[in-house]
Structure 1
Amino acid sequence: MAGTARQVHLGRKLKELRHAAGLSLEQVSEHVERSRSAVGHWERGFTRIGAQDLAAVLRLYETDEELTEQLQTLRRESGKRGWWHSYKLPPYMTPFIGFEAEASEVFHFELGIVPGLLQTESYARAVHESGRLVLSDEELREWVDARLKRQERLDKGGGLTLHAVIAEEAVRRVVGSPGVMAEQLEHLQRVCKKPSLKLQVLPFDAGAHVGAHGPITVLRFPDAGHGDVAFSDTPLGGHVIDDLRDVAELSRLFAELKAQALPERESVAMLSSIRDAHATRSKE
């Protein structure tokens, strides 16, 4: 299981440096007198590399003084616990939330539900209650509270911009109750006024699309040296995707979905209409 976001990022940088140096895992493991699996775990972010081991590896790669200090700083910071560690979340989520906490932009497509960063408390609770895991009341409260905490970065000064494309199915499907849906869509209409949110709806009329197999999430960072990462969420769990080609392909797919979706103003108008339909049903 991967460690913190910084640990995963450091591992990715070490792998890039090893490839640039033309060295194999075996050659590095012999140089630092560690097992091949240990070096592989460092690169995948599974385990935290020690300061002396990192220094030895960087000498082997002949990195300059500035980069060496940057990576040593990243190693030290990789041991810090973020706010999300105080919540009882599934282990596979913690690296992703760590990356999200440092990202400057999120590009997110959802097919069947409203994105987590835009969910109301009632909607989030209903999603988790019908999820793949059976949660205790305490776990459910923790998961919902953590989801709401993540949304704070969309507030003024939070430093995060969300580019969201939501399939029409997600806003028409009743999650919880028609009343919960009316409240959720009213919330979407309000948050659309935030400069930090660029929301579009992908209508049924758009026909077939590249997002038919599920959600897409790509994170971008203010540090140009920190490549984009993506996240895959499946019925068996989730994992961070950091292969450059895979992330680039997911970014391309998101761009296609964005191009097929309604413009922001028309999207808000559709949300208003669907919200009214849910509100009417809630009174029946």
Structure 2
Amino acid sequence: MSGTAREVHLGRQLKALRSENGLSLEDAAKHVERSRATVGHWERGYSRISAQDLTALLRLYGASEEMSEHLQQLRRDSRQRGWWHSYKLPTHLAPFVGFEAEAAEMFHFELGVIPGLLQTEDYTREIHKVGRLKLTDNQLHEWVEIRLRRQERLHEGGGFTLHTVIAEEALRREVGSPVIMAAQLERLEREAKRSTVNLQVLPYEAGAHVGSVGPITVLRFADAGHSDVAFSDTPLGGHVIDDLRDVAELSRLFSELQGQALPTQASQERLSSIRHEHMTRSKE
């Protein structure tokens, strides 16, 4: 059960205001004559709050006029449906895609696969074929299309920058075929030249690193009032992480990985070298 990215963000703001005033969920629920569960759902973005209930809570919390107008506008905007709502996204993924569509920057580390925003269509298809969900041909086509649509934000003028560190094992792992991998690495070389993509390779020789347990994804927003959020993806599903301390720690870990990764030019050279290895195998 999950709402839109705007509903989740609105809920987080309401929870912060309530906590700042030292009020409990029971206090807020009593004030608006709703159940504790209902107020909890608003704060988690599980359900949409009415304008009347939002006004009542903002008065209880003593929110400034500027903050009140900001949150009321956020509530109005939450009715807008993004392009991804026309697809049947997993419930755990929909809020993240909504946040991604509004973010200004993504900080992303991948250990075993190429980052989704940089995948070729063929690579994406092969990855989804062996995913945790068994997809029909129609579902597979739709999931590939969703990923390609998400990549459009990287185009110049999209107001979005991707900072990514890719472990060398992801570049060498043969997904599909050597031909598919050669094309995938060629795509990475092209994307790394974009002003909207900062790509680094974490080489084998870097040794042990903090990303050995899996991927890291943190989103940052142009709106200073919108805190960073992170996303955790596991074999059992995924979820948005909004605890400020947890997000800050993931950001720190990503910075540490950047420090261990090859500089931009050396990363380009490593990409080119591995691409040639895949090309050689494709001719055998």
Same fold (TM over 0.5): yes
CA distance in 2, matches of 1:209, 1:162: 21
User: What does 1:1-284 align with in structure 2 at a 5 Å threshold?
Assistant: 1-284=1-284
Q: 2:114 is matched by which residue type in structure 1?
A: V
- Identity across aligned pairs (percent)? 69
Q: CA deviation at 1:261?
A: 0.3
CA distance in 1, matches of 2:265, 2:137: 39
Q: CA deviation at 1:62?
A: 1.1
SS in structure 1 of the partner of residue 198 of structure 2: strand
Q: Deviations over 1:121-147 (max 9, x none)?
A: 000000000111100111111111110
SS in structure 2 of the partner of residue 250 of structure 1: helix
Q: 2:181 is matched by which residue type in structure 1?
A: M
Task: State how many pairs are aligned.
Answer: 284
Q: CA deviation at 1:88?
A: 2.1
Q: 1:189 is matched by which residue type in structure 2?
A: E
| 8 Å contact kept, 1:191–1:197 | yes
CA distance in 2, matches of 1:92, 1:184: 27
CA distance in 1, matches of 2:50, 2:141: 36
Q: Deviations over 1:142-192 (max 9, x none)?
A: 111110111111111011100000000000000111110000000001111
CA distance in 2, matches of 1:9, 1:45: 7
So what's the TM-score if we normalise by structure 1?
Answer: 0.99
CA distance in 2, matches of 1:176, 1:111: 18
Q: CA deviation at 1:76?
A: 1.0
| 8 Å contact kept, 1:219–1:228 | yes
CA distance in 2, matches of 1:64, 1:253: 36
SS in structure 1 of the partner of residue 208 of structure 2: coil
Q: CA deviation at 1:267?
A: 0.5
Q: Deviations over 1:234-281 (max 9, x none)?
A: 001111000000000000000000000000110110010100011111
CA distance in 2, matches of 1:209, 1:143: 31
CA distance in 2, matches of 1:276, 1:66: 57
CA distance in 2, matches of 1:14, 1:176: 47
| 8 Å contact kept, 1:230–1:240 | yes
CA distance in 1, matches of 2:85, 2:196: 26
CA distance in 2, matches of 1:227, 1:142: 31
CA distance in 2, matches of 1:64, 1:223: 18
CA distance in 2, matches of 1:2, 1:12: 13
So what's the TM-score if we normalise by structure 2?
Answer: 0.99
SS in structure 1 of the partner of residue 232 of structure 2: strand
Q: Deviations over 1:7-58 (max 9, x none)?
A: 0000000000001111001111111111111111111111111111111111
CA distance in 1, matches of 2:104, 2:168: 26
CA distance in 1, matches of 2:65, 2:104: 28
Q: CA deviation at 1:65?
A: 1.6
SS in structure 2 of the partner of residue 218 of structure 1: strand
CA distance in 2, matches of 1:91, 1:283: 43
Runs of 4+ in 1 over 6 A off after TM superposition: none
| 8 Å contact kept, 1:112–1:167 | yes
Q: CA deviation at 1:89?
A: 1.7
Q: CA deviation at 1:66?
A: 1.6
CA distance in 2, matches of 1:87, 1:264: 36
Q: What RMSD in Å do the two structures reach over aligned CA positions?
A: 0.7
| 8 Å contact kept, 1:165–1:261 | yes
SS in structure 1 of the partner of residue 69 of structure 2: helix
CA distance in 1, matches of 2:11, 2:51: 13
